[in-house]
Structures are given as structure tokens and as C-alpha cells.
Amino acid sequence: MYNVYILFSDSTQKFYTGSCQDMVSRLIHHNAGHNRSTKAGAPWKIAMLYHVADRAEALKLEMKIKNRGAKRFLVDEGLG
């Protein structure tokens, strides 16, 4: 199983979208500052988490979210 996630940073007021298999360790990695893209926004919190069957489906959903923009995607889903 794969996860597609949208993170939100209160400090930068920005969203970050990604995919992974182990959400707990991935969030720890983001909040520890090991990822250049998310280092400035720590601590991150999970705004939305989707579970999908495989990597191909995860990448498809991740690209859909990134193309739309995380904030607009959440609004479209009735969550923003």
C-alpha cells in the first residue's frame, strides 16, 4: 500500500504534496529537516492522507494534486 499526502506548515503557510509507503517515518524525515524542499517549513502536519493500492496509482494522484495545487485540490474535495 502507498500513501499520498498533503502536508501543511503553519510557519510558512505552505503545502507540500508527496507519496511514500511509510508515512510515519516520512513525516519524521520532513520534520527533521532532511528534505531540502521542506526544511524551512518544519514542523509539518498532515492536512490530508490518501491510501492507494500501488505506486502507479500513488504517482497519478500525486501529479493530479500538484497540477491542481494542494490548496485548490483540498477546496475541490470540500476540505479547504
Out of 3.40.47.10, 3.40.1440.10, 3.30.360.10, 3.40.50.970, which CATH number does the structure's domain 2-75 have? 3.40.1440.10
> What is the predicted pLDDT for the residue at 19?
98
* Strand stretches in the chain, DSSP E: 2-9, 14-20, 44-52
Residue 66's CB is within 10 A of a number of other CB atoms, namely: 14
Domains of the chain, by residue range, sit at 2-75
Please give the average pLDDT of every successive group of 10 residues along the chain, which has 80 residues.
Answer: 98 97 96 93 97 98 98 90
pTM (predicted TM-score) = 0.94
> What is the predicted pLDDT for the residue at 48?
97
> What is the predicted pLDDT for the residue at 35?
87
